[in-house]
Every structure is written in structure tokens, then in C-alpha cells.
A and B are shown apart, each in its own frame.
Chain A
Amino acid sequence: MSTAITSQSSGPSSGSPEHPPEAALATSAANRAVGVRTLRPAIGLGVLALVSLIVFALNASGQRVDFRFSNDGGAIRLPDVSVPSAPYGWVVTIVLAALAVYAAVQARKLPRWAVIVAGFFFVTGFLVWIVGTAQTPSISITALLAGSVALATPLVFGSLGGLLCERSGVVNIAIEAQLLFGAFSAAVAGTVAGNPWVGLLAAMLGAVLVAAVLALFAIRYRVNQVIVGVVLNVLVSGLTGFLFATVLEPNAASFNAPDRLPHVRIPVLAEIPVVGPVLFDQSVIGYIMYLAVIVVWFALYRTRWGLRTRAVGEHPKAADTLGVSVNALRVRNVLLGGAVAGLGGAFYTLVSVSAFTRDMTAGAGYIALAALIFGRWNPVGALLASLLFGFASNLESILSFLGTPVPSQFLAMLPYVVTILAVAGLVGRSRGPAASGEPYTKE
């Protein structure tokens, strides 16, 4: 390949010796490639088919499962869908088994359509089975999805905040701390000022404070970024826990009772079945979330700032030799990331519950980190991954509400199981920013 290109170069450069034309022909061949034979997809699908056989087909309850697509009061009604659980379990098993056989014959990486088909059938099979075991085998898809978006909101902000850090080369394990401190600040400032908008601003500032500590140690003093992050998480958990017990709890009315941010229902659009209530009947923070994803995406891929941020995260020295100030850019991005994560924190105390409680983020920061990796350091990917985790969490609460015999502890594990499967490379290995986690120093 190289000489195919270089040999053309002798043409325009007058005065340089002519290369024989056959050189380009002889060198155009690149390395031979062979398909890597692998049975891994076949084995994976086989296991899924087996799970489906044993659980979804043989252990089905025999009830019919109703999926409701419309709210009772909606202007447009869609018909409900009713699925018999045992036959559907068999359908899922047969589809997965067929795909496993196909994968075994092909013996290479699964095509995308096969992954989508297998995913769709396994997830719906699981849904039909588990709702079928409940006392009331009826589930509202709208509620399921709307709840998913709500639960995903702090995750989206957390992973966008992490993305801003990591894309510029700073690992941010402290998303959890930023969410928690954001929630705390929002509650206190919102109550004291008597205005949730002040709380929202305070949430951003609080999380920026955490980010500033991260930036100081990770960039200025080049401490291991993972360790700084973990220490910050523990520190903020302890600090907010202490202040909660000593100040907030005894004086809840004056410090821990913020007003909620307004809920906005966009007239016409919210009437669209399923999609309407999910997307257009949101808290203010929900709309800010959509905006944030778009803005971060545009900024990252379409602006000078984004180009420099990505360059600094990939190869800081190269950026430096082009006059980009690496560490200054990193500090700015870490602080900006903190502000974004803080918005996610505000969701807890200004939207979800209007009071701060000890460790109320409950590990969401770590899930946001997983969403960031699963979403391949891309804002849209992070959004989709967060929605998946939000879906898993919401399913858990809806199922315990429906009264399924599966122990609630197992259901509570669901989001984390999904997380670990996702991050373990369910959809292939993702490549992060090359210089993430490496402090930059001039020699």
C-alpha cells in the first residue's frame, strides 16, 4: 500500500527520478487475512437457549401476560397485547437454539442482526416469564419506560460528566461523589434560599468543588487518578453523612426541605401513545438532560474545543507540540464535567425526593461510569447505556410491586448483573481514550 501511494508522488515532483511502474503493482498486496474461527458466539447463544428452555419454557406459569401500551386517560388508545407465557417461552427457546446452530455453522463473529434478534427475544422472553409469575400478570409499557428514563436521568448526567473528564485524559471515579455532593448542595441551598433553581445552581457548584479537588490532585500533583477518585467517594459519603446527622436531620425544615423543580408537560406531544409520556412529560432536569446530550455531542465532535479535548485525551504530547495547553484544558474539562454531574445530583433532591438522605445516590456514580464505558465514551452511547440500566432498575421495582415470587434481593441485583455483562464486552471491546489516566508532564 505504501508504495502504491508513494509511487504516484514521483509524477508531479518535477526533477525527481521516475519510478518504474511495476513497483506499484508488485507492492499493492497487503497482508493476507483469514477469518478467525470462533465458537464463542455459538456457545453463548447455546447457554441462552438452555436458560430459555429451563426457565422461560419449562418453568412458565401458564398465565397470559398483558402488556398495556396506553394510559387510561390518554387521548389515543392502543390495544393491549396479551401473550401466553409458556408457548412464548418455547418460541424464544427455538429462536435462540436456531441462532446457536447458525453461529456454530458460521463459526465466526455474529452479524449485527443476529445480535439484535437474540437480544430482543431473550429480553422479551424474560419479561413474559417474570411477569407471568406475578400475581397480577399485567404490565404498563408506558410506566416501565417512563420510569426507566427517570431512573436513568442521574446516570446520564453522571456519565456525561465522566465523559468530559475522560475524553481529556482524566479518569473520573469520583462521579459518585459528585452526584452525592450535588444532591446534598441542592437540598441545602434550595431550602435555605427557598428556591429550587438556586438549589440547581448549588448542585453544580458543589460537584465542581469535588471536581476541583480531583483536578488538583490528579493533574497538579499527579496522584493516581483512580485512588483520588475512590478517596473522594469515601470522603464525600462521610462528610455528607456527618452533616446530615448533625445539621440536616435535627433542622429538616430549615435545611432539608427544598421545593421541587417544576414538572413540564408539553401539550400535544405528550399525547402520543408510549413515546409521549416517556419523552414529553418530564421534570425540567429531564429536558436539560436531552439538551446536555446534544450539546456535549456537538461540542465534542464539531467544535475546536472538542477536537482539542479528544487530542489531549489521546496523545497529549502531540497536542502540546501544537501549542495546546494540555493541563489547563484538562482542568477546565474536569471542572465542567463536575458541573454536569452536579445536575444529575440535583435530580435526587429536587425532582425524585425533596429531601437529602444519607448515601442516597447508592452507587449510581459507579453505574454511570459503567454506562460511560459501555457507551464507548460517546454521549449518545452513554445515553443509551444509561437508559438500559435505568430500565433494569425500574423493572426491578415494578416487578416487586406486581408481586413476583422471585426474591426481591435477586431482582435488586438485576441492574448490576446487566452492568457487569455489558462492561464485560457483551457488544465487543470498546477502546477508551488512549491517554486516559496518565498525568501529563513536560520532560
Chain B
Amino acid sequence: MQLKLTDVTKKFGDFTANNRVNLTVEPHQIHCLLGENGAGKSTLMNVLYGLYEPTSGTIEIDGAPVSFSGPGDAMAAGIGMVHQHFMLIPVFTVAENVALGHENTRGMSLDLETTRARIREISERYGFAVDPDAVVEDLPVGVQQRVEIIKALVRDAKVLILDEPTAVLTPRETDELLEIMRQLRDNGTSIVFISHKLREVRAVSDVITVIRRGEVVGQVGPETSTDELAALMVGRDVSLTVAKDTAHTTGTALEVRGLTVVGDNGVVLLDDVEFDVAPGEILAVAGVQGNGQTELTQALVGLEEQVSGSARLDGQELVGLRTREILASGVGFVPEDRSTDGLVGTFTVAENLVLDRYREREFAAGPSLRLGAISGHAGSEVNEYDIRTGSVDSPVATLSGGNQQKVVIARELGRPLKLFVASQPTRGVDVGSIEFIHKRIVAERDKGTAVLIVSTELDEIYALADRIAVFFHGRLMGIVGPDTPREALGRMMAGEPTDSVLPPAPWDHSHDDGGSPAGAPAGGSTAAPATAPAHAGGAAAVTLDGDGLDPGAHPADRTTDRPEGNRTA
């Protein structure tokens, strides 16, 4: 079935989210919608799915105009959608989730057996291995996503919209999803693939439509280079790599030994972790969301309750201190969710910039605040960090995601630090701000601060890391050099130990038909001992200009042609 959008405009008040968008999705096609966060991709798809009513414009299916008053209509017309945030009910079973809204009944009672059979059938056809009676909240996100796809397929979707489907997946799960998308296409389902990740887009798309600020700015093929795509998406040339010198490190700033965090229910969330971070070094923590990284950062700043082990910063024990004492000892912290933990949305930009410093002499006189000083401080920070805001007195919630994040970064880097801990420093941030924030983090490193970055985006890990620590199920799988191949990191993130992923000696690479990126020195892939921070400046000398570190420069077809089959130990 052919889906055609003509001059679709969607306005929210004065704000135009989509402006005269034209788009045609042909049958048997994976059509990618590429654009930055906030470019209007999701809005457009919500219009298409009947969640929003378009302000003007028409939607046609096979040449006949349609209008949807709700998702029910869109589904009846053969459009299915997998939302970025899964629309699954956590306490329901897979079958209940799939049946919802589309239930079969036998007399008065619900007939889930038919649904179960359909799930098994689809699951078998695509190799999903989904148990219809599993409770959704117990399933890993990759499987939850398949449940979402099954939901659409059960309703006979002819066009499947996937909204940022890879954001929550491991690299391997991502590859598997791309493979599923190809299979679906070959079986006749057209796919609208929304993403801002250039690598995946190039790997799987038949057509790429680029959207910027709500408008279509170009339609290109998958052979377009990453740099061209990025430039189209952002509207100017961007550098996807961060210029950074080799770290020069001596000694140890942060010394973590046996750090363990236990959750309320007795599950060990962070399991006996041991590593060092040197002054002037960035240790980037890679891992799929929910593998202990959050607990690690929170334990370091005293936000976890059941912590054992030790974390010493320049010899001072942090475990057991209160959060305020930890911050005062020279720790800066960027929490992973700025809107809930990083900022007070209704407070002004100026107030948010002194949230952890309001009682310092500079900003307080006895019990009262020095409002003038706070305002002046905000003014200079807004200039220095290029925070785009109408006024320092605007509520911080009115700023864009990127600018909100800059407020957090400005506040945390505004004090003299010994250790800077940042969790997802650029999540939901536009490319321009990512560039800026990355530069500031590297600058902080160059001042001699120990930096610990947690990120689920491998691109970010590669852009910043002097060394990479990989977490899985609360355990540190190993610490590796910054030029470790993406595929090897992906396997460590899925729980394979370092030594099975990375051969111990360079000559083992002869078995490898192209797994390590061109130009990356093989020796650099050697697992670094967890307790040798100086390593970052030594054997694994970082050169950021190599192809291996530019995430976009991987050949697109690598995702389908993985070399891991040859790696059987």
C-alpha cells in the first residue's frame, strides 16, 4: 500500500512543528525519516497515526484521501506504530498487551487463546522467541520491542512506523532489529524508520527523507555520506568528532574498590566494582541502560542507600559521606535525567545555576540570598556556555533540552573540581549543543580533573573516552582502550568477557576478517588492566582522526556482515 502525505502542517499554538511536509512511502520500502531531536519527526508520525489532527494538509492511502480521528482509525487503515516509549502495560502479559483494543471474545469472556496462537505464529515466522504468557515488565527491552512489533502485525499493519526504535537497544539487538526490518519489508510491509543515528539509517534505508525544524530539507539515497547527511540534518557542517589530545596522566584521583550497591529487593545492582580514574583522564562507562551505571554514579555522590566497598578521591573516602559533603570535596555531578534530578523546572535559570552553591559566601549573606550576585553570576554563565534563553529570570523548563543541559553543565563545571561525573551528558540534546558540551568536558579533563562519563550512546563513548569501562548486569566486564572495535564493545555490553571478545595479542587479528576498523592499531585493543590508568596515555594512544573512531565512517554494510562468526573461541 502506498502512503502519501501532501502539505501536512501541524501547529501547536504559534509553534509550527511540521510545515507543509510532503512524503510518499512506497510499498516494499524502508523509508527513513532523519532529523534531530525536536525536528518534528515524531509529531509528523503522530499525525499519521491519528494521535494528532493535522492543522492542514491531506493524507492519502493508495490514492484515496483518509482522515483519522484516532489511532483506531489509523490501525483499521493498516498503519501500525512502535512508539519510542513503548506503549505496553507493564503488569500485563504479552498476550494481554497484544489483545488489548483488538480482543477476541467467546460469549461474555475474553478469548486470549486465539491471540496466543497468533503471537506464536508471528513469533515463529520472524524468529522472535516471545512467550505469550510472559509478563511484559519482566522482559528485556529488546523483547518488549518485538512485542510492540507483534502488536502491529496482529492488526495486519501494511505500514509500520518505528519511532527511534534503536535508542534502547544494545548494538547486537540493533543489528537484529535492522534484520527484522528487512524481513518485514521483503514480506510486503513498508516501514517508516525514524532515527537520528546516521549509521543505522544508512545501513537499512531505501530512501532517506531529512527533516529540519519541521520541514523536509531533502530526500536522498542510502549511499549519501555520513557527513552530507549530518550537514543536511543540522543545516551546517558539523564535526562528528571531538578534537582532543592524548591524555597526559599520572597518579590516581579516584580509586574505587569493591563498590557494591544492593537494591531494596536484595538484587545486587552494582557488583564488586573496581577501577581507577587518573587526573586529566576521561573514563567512559559503556553499557545498555540499567546495567548498574546509574547506581555507580549515584553511589559516588551518596545517593544510594545500601552501599559497601570504597571510593576514594585523592585519598578521601566518599562512601558514607553525605551528598553535600561529597560535592564540597570537589565532585561535580550531572544526573542522567535533567528534568527530574538536574533542574527545578519552575525555578529560573539564575536560581538553577546556584542550586548547589546558594549558601556560599558569594551568593548568601547570613540567611538571605544575594540576588544581585546570583543574577550577575547567571549572566556571565549564560554568555560563557552560550545558553539560549530570553532572560536569566525565565523558568528553566521553558528552555530547549540542549540549553537546559547546558545550565546543568555550567553549574557543575562552575566550581573547582577534582572529579566530574556525568551521566548521559547529551541525551536528548541537539547536535550543536552536543559538540559544545563535549568540548567543555574535554576542556575540564585538560585542566586535570578526573572525568567519569556514563553513556549508552557508543558514538559519545568513542568521542570522549580515554579508556572505556563496560558494564553488564552490575559487573564491570573490563576496561579497554578507546579504539576497541564497536562490535567488540557491543559483545562486551551483552555480557561476554573481555578476553573472549578481544584477542590477547595483536597477531590474533589475522583471524579477523575486518572486524577491527581500518586504521586502528591492533595493540590498542588489548584489554587494559583495570588498575592502570596511565595506560590511557601510553599503549593505547588515542588518535581521534582515524576512521575507527568516527562512528559515521564505518562502512554501512558492516552491520549485516558481522565478522563474529569467525571468532569462535
Contact = CB atoms under 8 A, between A and B. Distances in A.
Interface string A421-443: 00000000000001000000011
Given A6-B173, A20-B564, A314-B92, A32 B75 contact: no
Contacts of B532: none
Contacts, number: 175
A235 B136 CA distance: 43
B271 A31 contact: yes
B185 to A, nearest CB: 13
Given A36-B262, A321-B81, A9 B474 contact: no
Interface in B236-267: 262, 264-267
Interface string A301-332: 01110111011001101111111110000000
Contacts of B346: none
A315 B102 contact: no
B92 A9 contact: no
A11 interface: yes
B63 interface: no
A9 B126 CA distance: 8
| Residue from A11, A15, A21 with most neighbouring chain B CB atoms (10 Å) | A15
A17 interface: yes
Contacts of A23: 491, 494, 496
A18 interface: yes
A15 to B, nearest CB: 8
Given A9-B176, A304-B103, A307-B99, A26 B88 contact: no
Given A27-B496, A31-B473, A302-B109, A314 B102 contact: no
A26 B129 contact: no
B99 to A, nearest CB: 7
A20 B501 CA distance: 12
B537 interface: no
Contacts of B560: 17
Given A29-B495, A324-B101, A304 B110 contact: yes
Interface string A161-178: 000000000000000000
A2 to B, nearest CB: 3
Q: How large is the interface on B (under 10, 10 to 19, 20 to 34, 35 or more residues)?
A: 35 or more
B172 interface: yes
Nearest to B43: A443
Contacts of B142: 2, 5-6
Contacts of A307: 96, 99-100, 103, 110
B127 A13 contact: yes
B268 interface: yes
Interface residues of A, number: 53
A315 B87 contact: yes
Given A2-B141, A34-B268, 13 more contacts: A2-B170, A3-B494, A6-B129, A6-B143, A13-B179, A13-B180, A15-B183, A17-B560, A31-B269, A32-B271, A308-B100, A318-B88, A322-B151
14 contacts: A3-B494, A6-B172, A12-B127, A13-B127, A13-B180, A19-B565, A29-B495, A32-B474, A36-B264, A307-B99, A310-B91, A321-B49, A322-B102, A323-B73
Interface of A: 1-3, 5-6, 8-13, 15-23, 26-27, 29-36, 298, 302-304, 306-308, 310-311, 314-315, 317-325, 434, 442-443
Interface of B: 49, 51-52, 70-73, 75, 81, 83, 86-92, 96-97, 99-103, 105, 108-110, 124-129, 140-143, 151, 170, 172-173, 176, 179-180, 183, 262, 264-269, 271, 472-474, 491, 494-497, 500, 560-562, 564-565, 567-569
